[in-house]
Amino acid sequence: MRVVFLGAPGVGKGTQADRIAAQFKVLKISTGDLLREAVRNKTALGLEAKSSMDQGKLVPDSVVIGLVRDKLTDPGCAKGFILDGFPRTVAQAESLGQVLNAAKTPLNRVINFQVPRADIVKRLSGRRSCPKCQATFHVDFAPSKTGAACDRCGEALVQRSDDKPEAIETRLKVYEEQTAPLIRYYGNQRLLTDIDGSGPVDTVFEALFGVLAPFHAV
């Protein structure tokens, strides 16, 4: 299974990527998680990426493409992968296509999550994340047991710096300008499947499962 999860910030890509990766035992590759890890570790890449991320802008293509190329060589990818939040520009999509075609492992599907804007803003502003294990919660829709600590590892939950109102606005604008063109790009390649992401997590998962199960052994 080789799949891309596409969609605006907050549509539930990461939540569903975790569940699909566990269900089908494939690797989840989230460029957002990789970049946040680099920021936490204060690597040169992290230092370069931090200010763009805090403002809700995209990190330069060259940086992100390099990260994903490295990850795709991970032996864990042989069983399949879910790319969560990559590609986000046409240049990234073209570069991904070149890498996968050269390895004769083309994408099976691109899932386009659709959620109304008002719901997206509620989801992002109420999200709480674990800085240690990356688990994601929501103060209303998916609260942790204590509200303050991660259910998985006990670390104190935080609000992401880009989940503040001004950064959310910028991220939604950046999505429309730079990422939404990928809907047509992958539509033209007949790879796109739209999924209604506005229902409860379990309902969205069932719909996704139905679309992706045929690619399980591919």
What does the binding site for ligand AP5 look like in residue numbers (CB under 6 A)? Answer: 7, 9-15, 31-32, 35, 52-53, 56-59, 64, 85-86, 88, 92, 123-124, 127, 136-138, 141-142, 162, 171, 200-201, 204
Least distance CB 217 / ligand AP5 (angstroms)? 26
- Closest by alpha carbon to 142, among 153, 158, 126? 126
Residue whose token pair is 């209604």? 196
Q: Which residue is nearest to ligand AP5 (CB)?
A: 32
- The SS3 of residue 132 is coil
Least distance CB 122 / ligand AP5 (angstroms)? 8
Least distance CB 83 / ligand AP5 (angstroms)? 9
CA dihedral 181, 58, 129, 182 (to 10 degrees): 10
Q: Active-site residue 160, yes or no?
A: yes
- Closest by alpha carbon to 59, among 82, 27, 28, 36? 36
For residues 47 and 104, which CB has a smaller minimum distance to ligand AP5 in the complex? 47
CA triplet 198, 190, 208: central angle to 5 degrees? 30
- Closest by alpha carbon to 189, among 90, 68, 53? 90
Q: Active-site residue 13, yes or no?
A: yes
- Which listed residue (71, 88, 109, 123) is catalytic? 88
- Which listed residue (57, 122, 132, 160) is catalytic? 160
- Which listed residue (19, 36, 127, 128) is catalytic? 127
For residues 147 and 218, which CB has a smaller minimum distance to ligand AP5 in the complex? 147
Question: What is d(CA 110, CA 192) in angstroms, rounded to the nearest whole number?
Answer: 5
For residues 169 and 218, which CB has a smaller minimum distance to ligand AP5 in the complex? 169
User: Residues 6 or more apart from 99 whose CB is under 8 A from it?
Assistant: 69, 72
- Which listed residue (36, 71, 123, 171) is catalytic? 171
Least distance CB 207 / ligand AP5 (angstroms)? 11
Least distance CB 187 / ligand AP5 (angstroms)? 19
For residues 114 and 218, which CB has a smaller minimum distance to ligand AP5 in the complex? 114
CB 86 within 8 A of CB 33: no
Q: Active-site residue 171, yes or no?
A: yes
- Give the pairing of strands 127-129 and 136-138: antiparallel
- Residues known to be catalytic: 13, 88, 127, 160, 171
